[in-house]
Structure 1
C-alpha cells in the first residue's frame, strides 16, 4: 500500500512540476533562438512621449506624488498637438544612431493611449488636438528603416475607474475584496494589449508597473500566452512578474556583470524620461558612449531614451547625442554589433568585447589614452593589433614571461596619440585561436 501511495504521489508531483514549468518557463533552445537578434542589436532607442510633455512634468508620477492634481495633469490633453510630428525623421535619426530597435510608450501609467483604442478610455485620437493615431506611422517608418518595433505598455492605469488607483473615480481596494471589479479592469487591460498586438505586431514588449500586483493577480501567464499566439517570436521584458525574457536595470549600470542571460540598461540623456525644459543635466556624447561600452562589455544592451516635445520635435541636445553616437558606432561597428561580452574583471582596465568565435578581442580605451596599456592573463599569441576604423597597426610587448612557467606574461601595447578617436579608441587584437585566459594566483602555491 505504501509503495503504491508513493508511486501515485511521485506521479502527481511530476505532473505538478511539469505543469508549473510549462506555464512559467520557456524552452531554453527556443528562447535562445528568438533572443539572438536582441543579443546582436546592442542598442535600442526608448521614446517617452505623452501629454506630460505639454507642461514638461513627470510622466504620470507627478500626480501620483501629488506635485499636481490628477485633473490638472489630464488637462494637458488639451495642449498636445503633435503638430510637427514627423515619424519618418524620427526613424531616420534612430537609424543614424546605430540602434537596431526602438521602443515607444504606447500608454503610460496615466492611461492615455497613443493609438485609436476601441476601449472607452483616453486616447490622443479622441481627447487631444492631435486627433491622430501616433503609432501607425511611426511603426511603418521603422519597418522601412529595418528597425525592430518595440511597444512600452503600462500594466498600471491610474486613470481607469476599475483600477485600484488614486483618482477621484477610483478608491484603493483589495483585489480579493472586489474580484468582479478587478476582472473588469483585467478584461480592459487585455483588450488594449490585444489591440496593440494585432494592429502593430511588436517585435518586443516593454511592460512596466508590475510591482503593484502579483503574477496571479495580473494573469501574466495569460498575457504572455496571448501575445505569443499572435506573434510567437515576440520577446518580452522582465517586468512581468517572472514571465519575461530579459532583465531591465534602470539608470544605474551594474558594477559587476549581471548573471542574466540577456539584459538591457535603460538610460536617459538628461535626468528625466519625458521632455522637461528645466532639466539641463545633459550627458555628453562621450559619457553616453562610455556607458554604452560598459553595457556591451558586460554582455548587455543599452536602451537610450529621448523625450520629444508635445509638438513632436526632438530636443536638439538629444539629436546631437544620437548623431555623435551614430558616428562612433559606424566607425567601430565590428567591435559593437553581433559581439559578445568581453574579459572578466581584472584582465584589462576598460570595457572589452569578443567576436562570436572568440578569436578577436576588442579593447575600448576610456578617455584620451596615450602610452602603454596592459592586458593580464592572456595565454594566446597575438597575431595582429589593429586600431579599429583606421589602417593603423600596433605592436605588443610581452613582459615578465618566464620560459619554464605556464603563467603568461603581461601584454603592453603602446598607443600613439595620433591614433586616438575623438571619443573612445578601440583596438582589435586578432588571436591565434579562441581566447584562453590564465586566472590563477601567479607563482603562489
Structure 2
C-alpha cells in the first residue's frame, strides 16, 4: 500500500463513469483484444487510426451527463493495451494527435470539463503496450496463463529475453505516466495490464514513488499491485466485499468500448440494483460506457445514465454521506447507514406488502419515513427477551410512496446503530 492515507473523496463518491474511448470504436471491435486474440488481423485493427475523427467530441456534454447521472468522478482510457495514446505524447508517435484525423489532444479538454463541474479526474493507463517494439522482451517468472507465456504481442520470440529492450520499454512507460501526472494532474490513475509481468519487472515501487512525488494525493488502483490504494473487481458484485476501499467496474451493455451490435443493455432497474448492492457493501460503482468514434455517447447508454441519476437524486440522503449498511439477515435487501450511524436506509426492490421487518436492532426507533416523499410510516416492536431485541415491524408505504425502481425507508435511531448478532436465548 502507499504511505499516503486514502483520499476521503473516493469512498464518498459512490459513482464514477468509466470511458473506453479509442480507435477500436471505428469498426466497433473489442478494444485491443481484437488483434491480440486474432479476431481481426493486426494491420486491419491499426487501419482504424485513419477513421478516428472525434468530430463531435464534446467533453463538456460528457461532464454534464455524468453530473446528471450522480457521478463524482470519471476515468478515461488515456492509453489502452493497443498503445494508442489520446494525448500528444513525446514518447513514441502512436497517438491520436499525430496519427488520426482527430489531430488533437483529447485528454486536456476532458480534464478541464470535469473540473469545471466539480468532478474528480481519472485516467486509465495500461502498463502493457502490445504495439511497442520493446514490449515483448522479457518473460513473466510465473506466467498466470498460457497467453502470457506464448502470445507474440507479450512474450519474446523463442523465449529469448532482451533486458536492454525491457529497460527502454519501462523508460517509455514511466515517461508517459509522468506526462499524465505533470500535464493533467489526475486525481486518480487507473492502471491495467499488470498481469503480464511481475511487480519487480514492472518497477512498481519506483513508478509509485514517481507518481506520488509529482502529486502526493493521486489515488492508485490495485493494478499497481502492492502499491495500489483500492480493489477493482469487474462485472459482478462480490459476495464478500474486498478489504478496504473498492470499486465495481461494470459495463452498461456487455462491451467496454463501443460495439454497435451489442444491444444487451442493462435496464435502469438492474443498474439501480447493482449500484445499491455495491454501496451497501461499502464500494463504489464505476459504470462503463463506450463512446462512438466521433465522441458521442449512444442514446441507449445516455438514457440509462440519466435514469440511474434520477433515482440517485430522489434518494441522495441514502447515497452520499453514507457507509456500508447492515450485515445480511437484518433486512431483506441492501441498506446504507448515515456517517453519524444514527440513520439506517433500507432499500426495497420489490413493492413492500403489509409490513417490513428489521431484525436485531437494539436501538429505539424514533421515526421511519419514505426517502424522497417524506411520508412517515408507523412502526412497532414485537417480541424480544432480555438481551435479545424484538423485531421492528414497519407498515408498508402506500402506492404513491413506492418508487418505480427501489423504495428507500429512512429509519432514525435514538443513538448510534447498535446491532444484536447473537444466537438468541440458550
**Interval of TM-score (by shorter of Structure 1 and Structure 2):** over 0.9
Q: Give yes or no for the alignment of 1:230 onto 2:214.
A: yes
Contact 1:70–1:167 (CA under 8 A) maintained in structure 2: no
Give the 3 Å change call, closer, same or farther, for CA 178–364 of structure 1 in structure 2: same
Identify which of 286, 291, 298 aligns with 2:274: 291
Q: Give yes or no for the alignment of 1:241 onto 2:241.
A: no
1:174 positional shift: 9.0
1:399 positional shift: 1.6
Q: Give yes or no for the alignment of 1:414 onto 2:386.
A: no
Counterparts of 2:422 and 2:359, CA distance in 1:
11
1:54 positional shift: 0.6
Q: What are the equivalent positions in structure 2 for 1:263-412 lying under 5 Å apart?
A: 263-402=246-385, 405-412=386-393
1:164 positional shift: 0.7
Greater Rg over alpha carbons, structure:
1
3-state SS in 1 of match to 2:124: strand
3-state SS in 1 of match to 2:62: helix
Counterparts of 1:216 and 1:182, CA distance in 2:
12
Deviation digits for residues 244-279 of structure 1, max 9, x if unmatched? 000000001111333x11000000000010001111
Work out the number of aligned pairs and report it. Answer: 413
1:395 positional shift: 1.3
Counterparts of 1:57 and 1:206, CA distance in 2:
22
Deviation digits for residues 85-118 of structure 1, max 9, x if unmatched? 1111011001111100000000000000000111
Counterparts of 1:46 and 1:195, CA distance in 2:
21
Contact 2:2–2:227 (CA under 8 A) maintained in structure 1: no
Quote the residue 1:429 is aligned against. Answer: 411
Contact 2:96–2:102 (CA under 8 A) maintained in structure 1: yes
Deviation digits for residues 356-385 of structure 1, max 9, x if unmatched? 111010101113333311111001100011
Contact 1:164–1:174 (CA under 8 A) maintained in structure 2: no
Q: What are the equivalent positions in structure 2 for 1:53-202 lying under 5 Å apart?
A: 53-164=25-136, 172=156, 177-202=161-186
3-state SS in 1 of match to 2:189: strand
Counterparts of 1:167 and 1:72, CA distance in 2:
18
Counterparts of 1:352 and 1:192, CA distance in 2:
42
3-state SS in 2 of match to 1:400: strand
1:136 positional shift: 0.9
Counterparts of 1:174 and 1:369, CA distance in 2:
64
3-state SS in 2 of match to 1:242: helix
Counterparts of 2:153 and 2:359, CA distance in 1:
63
Q: Give yes or no for the alignment of 1:211 onto 2:183.
A: no
Give the 3 Å change call, closer, same or farther, for CA 170–271 of structure 1 in structure 2: closer
Q: Give yes or no for the alignment of 1:252 onto 2:240.
A: no
Segments of structure 2 that go 5 or more residues without pairing to the other structure are 138-149
Counterparts of 1:171 and 1:382, CA distance in 2:
62
Counterparts of 2:50 and 2:320, CA distance in 1:
43
Counterparts of 1:175 and 1:88, CA distance in 2:
48
Give the 3 Å change call, closer, same or farther, for CA 170–320 of structure 1 in structure 2: closer
Segments of structure 1 that go 5 or more residues without pairing to the other structure are 1-24
Give TM-score, length-normalised by structure 1. 0.90
Counterparts of 2:350 and 2:159, CA distance in 1:
53
Deviation digits for residues 383-419 of structure 1, max 9, x if unmatched? 01111111201111212224xx221011111222221
Counterparts of 2:256 and 2:236, CA distance in 1:
14
The alignment's C-alpha RMSD in Å is: 1.7
